[in-house]
Amino acid sequence: MSFGLPNHLVRTVHSRALANASQWGGIACLAAALATVLLTAANGMASQGGAGVWPTVIALVPMIGMLAVLRRVRTVIMTIAYLVVGTFGTFLYALTLLTQTPSYRETSLFVFALPVIAMLAIGGAGSGALVGVLWSTLGYALAEVAVLIAAHLADRAFLPDVTSLLAYLVLVSVMILDAYVSVGRHTPQTLIHRAVRDVHASSVRHELAVEFAAELHDAVLSELVTVAASVPGELSPRLRTLIERDLVELGRDAATLSERHGTVDDPDASAWHESGLVKAIEQSRDDGLVIAVSGDRELVATLSPAQDRALGLAVRQCLVNVLRHAGTAEADVAISASDDELSVMVIDAGRGFVPAETAADRMGLRTSVHERIEHVGGTVTIWSSREVGTTVMLTLPIPVPVAAPTQSDGPAA
C-alpha cells in the first residue's frame, strides 16, 4: 500500500491505465481487421476482385476514429455514440465479409471476433468496476447481435466465437479484481485519515483546556485569595462586582473563548469577527454543524472586501454541502497563508464523492464555489474519496497594498 498517493488518486490512475490499455487493444483489433480485409482483397479472394471490400473499410475506419476520440473525451455521450457507430460498423463489416467472401461460411472465425473485441473494450472507460462491466457487457451484446443479424441476412451459420468471449471474460475479471484491490486498500487509508483527525481534535481540545485553565487561574484565583483574607460577613461592593464579572466571563462558550485572539480594540481581531468567513461559520453552527477553526484568523484582514465576501459565501456553500451530502455533523476550517496567498481549507470526514462524477446540474460547487472564487482571482482544489471525506481548498491572492503618494522635496511656494 502506497502512503504517498491519496486513495482517490490511486483509483483514478488505475482507471485511466485500464481504459488506455483496453482502448489501445480495441484500436489494434480494428487495425488488424482492416489489414486482414485489405490483404484478402489484394490476394483476389473477394468475389468482385476487391471492389466489394470497400463497405468493410467504410465500416472500420469510423470505429477507429471514434475509439481514438474516446481516449481523450471520456463522456457518457461519446461512449453511447461509439456504441451506435460500432454496432452499425460491426454489422456492415460482418455482412460484407459473409456476402463477398465465399470461404467465410460461419461466424466463429477469428476475423469476425476483431470488431467484437473492439466493442467490448469500451468497458475500460468506465469510472468504476460496476460501470465498466455494464459498458463491456452492452458492447459485447450489441456486437454479437449485429453479427447475428448479418449472418441471417447473408444466409450463413451464426456460431459465437471463442476469442471474443475469452476477451470479454478477461476484461471483466480485471475490472472486478481492480475493484476488490481498491476496497482492500481503502480500509487502512480510511483508518489513517480518521486517526489523523482524532489526533487533531485531541490537540484542539487540549489547547482549549489549557486556555480555559489559564483564564480560570487569572480571573478567579486573586478573588478567592481576597475572599479568604477578608473579614467574615457581607462582601464589599467592589469585590462583589469583580466576582460577578468573572462568573459571566467564565460562562461564555468555549468556542468563543478559543476564537478570541485580542481585545475589541485590536483591528485584526475586529476584522476577523466582522469577516464573511466568520458569518459563514456562525450560520453553519446555527444549522447544527460542529466546526473547529484553526490557523491564523487575523490573516483574513488582508483580503479586499470583494474577496472577503466571495470567500465567506464559498465557505458557506462548502459547509452547507457537508450538512446535506457528507453524512456528518462535523467539519474543520483551517486558515493558512504564504507571502502572497491566503488559503482556507474546509475538511470533513463524511461519505465523500468522486468529483469527476458530479452531475452537470449540480450548481453548488460550480457556481457558488468555483466561479465565485475564480471571479476574484482565486482557485479551488478538491480532494475527495468515497467513505473517506472531502477537502476543499480555497486559495486567494493577497492584495498588494498601494503606497501612499509622497510630497515632492521641491521648495515650498
Q: How confident is the model at residue 208 (pLDDT cuts 50, 70, 90)?
A: low
- Per-residue confidence (pLDDT) for residue 404, from 0 to 100: 47
- Per-residue confidence (pLDDT) for residue 84, from 0 to 100: 92
Task: State the angle between helix axes of 237-250 and 162-229 in degrees (0 to 180), rounded to the nearest 10.
Answer: 170
Give 376-386 pLDDT, tens digit per residue. Answer: 899 999 888 87
Q: How confident is the model at residue 369 (pLDDT cuts 50, 70, 90)?
A: confident
- Per-residue confidence (pLDDT) for residue 47, from 0 to 100: 47
Rounded mean pLDDT, 393-397 = 92
Check whether 354 has a pLDDT greater than 90.
no
- Per-residue confidence (pLDDT) for residue 34, from 0 to 100: 87
CA distance 140 to 120: 5
What's phi and psi for 17, nearest 5 deg? -65, -45
Give 86-134 pLDDT, tens digit per residue. Answer: 999 999 999 988 888 777 888 888 888 999 999 988 865 555 667 788 8
CA distances from 59 to 87, 118, 190 (A): 10, 13, 48
Report the 10 Å Cβ neighbour count for 98. Answer: 24
Reduced 3-state DSSP string for the chain = CCCCCCHHHHHHHHHHHHHHHHHHHHHHHHHHHHHHHHHHHHCCCCCCCCHHHHHHHHHHHHHHHHHHHHHHCCCHHHHHHHHHHHHHHHHHHHHHHHHHCCCCCECCCHHHHHHHHHHHHHHHHCCCHHHHHHHHHHHHHHHHHHHHHHHHHCCCECCCCHHHHHHHHHHHHHHHHHHHHHHHHHHHHHHHHHHHHHHHHHHHHHHHHHHHHHHHHHHHHHHHHHHHHCCCCCCCHHHHHHHHHHHHHHCCCHHHHHCCCCCCCCHHHHHHHCCHHHHHHHHHHHCCCEEEEEECHHHHHHCCHHHHHHHHHHHHHHHHHHHHHHCCCEEEEEEEECCCEEEEEEEECCCCCCHHHCCCCCHHHHHHHHHHHHHCCCEEEEEEECCCEEEEEEEEECCCCCCCCCCCCCCCC
Can you name the residues that pair with 337 across neighbouring β-strands?
342
Check whether 53 has a pLDDT greater than 90.
no
Give 154-197 pLDDT, tens digit per residue. Answer: 889 898 888 889 988 988 888 888 777 665 554 555 556 566 76
Q: How confident is the model at residue 396 (pLDDT cuts 50, 70, 90)?
A: very high
Check whether 62 has a pLDDT greater than 50.
yes
- Per-residue confidence (pLDDT) for residue 270, from 0 to 100: 64
What's the mean per-residue pLDDT of the chain? 76
CA distance 113 to 115: 6
Q: How confident is the model at residue 344 (pLDDT cuts 50, 70, 90)?
A: very high
Give 12-25 pLDDT, tens digit per residue. Answer: 566 667 777 888 88
Overall fold of domain 263-400: Heat Shock Protein 90 (3.30.565)
- Per-residue confidence (pLDDT) for residue 409, from 0 to 100: 44
Check whether 256 has a pLDDT greater than 80.
no
Rounded mean pLDDT, 352-370 = 66
Rounded mean pLDDT, 303-307 = 89
CA distance 197 to 199: 5
Higher pLDDT: 95 or 299? It is: 95
- Per-residue confidence (pLDDT) for residue 44, from 0 to 100: 60
- Per-residue confidence (pLDDT) for residue 42, from 0 to 100: 67
Least confident of 7-16, 63-72, 201-210: 7-16
Q: How confident is the model at residue 149 (pLDDT cuts 50, 70, 90)?
A: very high
Check if the beta carbon of residue 124 is closer than 8 Å to that of residue 174.
no
263-281 b/e with 16+ CB inside 10 Å = b?
eeeeebbebbbebbbbbbb
- Per-residue confidence (pLDDT) for residue 394, from 0 to 100: 92
